[in-house]
A and B are shown apart, each in its own frame.
Chain A
């Protein structure tokens, strides 16, 4: 077992509030995709919001949502995100989300196994990626960084 796990946070800006009829299919998909994540190989943890749907809205901008999760490796996250039913929801994202423009919408980083990231930390890492580009503190699938070398105890 690796001593490090991979955390990710991603964000989207909704075209309408989650209780709007135009968002109904997205909300249904949220439950299905969370259940799929929970039973996916390499899944470790995900942030569960007050509504229990896994999306966290920003206080200042309720249409800005975040999801955050921890996986054993980038390969496990990739398999869930892009090689499962989840890809079909991603394909339809323009029905529900505004485009992100040049801003990164997803950032990954390594954290010691057993630790849980906080939303504040995740947003800070997203900001850092946007400001400085990929670093070991926050990177993307296109510019990945390897896990830190585990020191034998």
Chain B
């Protein structure tokens, strides 16, 4: 459980109060893989030294982690020094003031559903929730969905999935699982709920004819991927 009593988490989050640093974090979070300081400097329009300063602050706060690799892909003598690369740290940080323990509540609810086998009810609730959330947004003046990959990505970005085209216009992968910790503890329950909710989002946005979501579990990303429905 994480509450306001855990001041280390508060420290980590206040590190993001600086606007430049927050943008640096976003560049790394949006990257398809580890990102170097040069890419961050270029994206932010700041110098390499300043970019490295902010990135290392984020590492010290536990928000980013580092690795080293030669960016050229070459190896051996003359390939150059390995570059320091940044990626998101796996730890999660949440602070609630006053103390609230929604994660614990979610774990208890998931365990109870697992024991009673009531996932069908959960999935139906999740699907309805997704449909309503997407329909509300559409009603609030957002542009009508045309079935383009960008529309689906915009929809899923709004719900924290960090979608990516994965190098193919008819396929979308989700780099972030909004329920990550719970999904690791209760995979069939939470991943099934997740799929149902994404199906609801697609239906609510009017994108369910053009796109199909399915279970597509793999290490390092959300268990659901989407593909464009064949129309011919």
- The count of chain A contact residues (Cβ–Cβ below 8 Å) is 20
Q: Is there an interface contact between B217 and A88, defined as CB atoms closer than 8 Å?
A: yes
Q: Is there an interface contact between A79 and B116, defined as CB atoms closer than 8 Å?
A: no
Given contacts A99-B116, A99-B117, contact A87 B185 (CB under 8 A): no
Which residue of the partner chain, among B117, B195, B217, contacts A82 with CB atoms under 8 Å?
B217
Q: Which residues in A have some Cβ–Cβ distance to B below 8 Å?
A: 79, 81-88, 90-91, 93-94, 98-102, 141-142
Q: Is the interface of B mostly helix, strand, loop or mixed?
A: helix
Chain B residue nearest to A82 (CB atoms) is B187
Distance A147 CA – B104 CA, assembled complex (angstroms)? 29
Q: Is there an interface contact between A88 and B215, defined as CB atoms closer than 8 Å?
A: yes
Chain A residue nearest to B186 (CB atoms) is A142
The answer, yes or no, to whether B218 is at the interface (CB within 8 Å) is: yes
Give me 12 A-to-B residue pairs in the complex whose CB atoms sit less than 8 angstroms apart, sorted by A's number: A82-B184, A82-B191, A84-B218, A86-B217, A87-B188, A87-B217, A91-B191, A91-B192, A91-B215, A94-B119, A101-B116, A142-B185
What is the interface residue range for chain B against chain A? 10 to 19
Distance A26 CA – B116 CA, assembled complex (angstroms)? 21
Given contacts A79-B219, A82-B217, A142-B185, contact A87 B117 (CB under 8 A): no
Closest Cβ of chain B to A129, distance in Å, is 15
Closest Cβ of chain A to B143, distance in Å, is 33
Identify which of residues 43-90 in chain B touch chain A, using a CB-to-CB cut-off of 8 Å: none
11 new A-B pairs (CB below 8 Å) besides A87-B187, A90-B188, A101-B116? A81-B187, A82-B184, A82-B187, A83-B223, A84-B218, A85-B217, A87-B215, A88-B217, A91-B188, A91-B192, A94-B120
Closest Cβ of chain A to B163, distance in Å, is 19
Chain B residue nearest to A81 (CB atoms) is B187
> Which residues from B are CB-within-8-Å of A87?
187-188, 191, 215, 217, 223
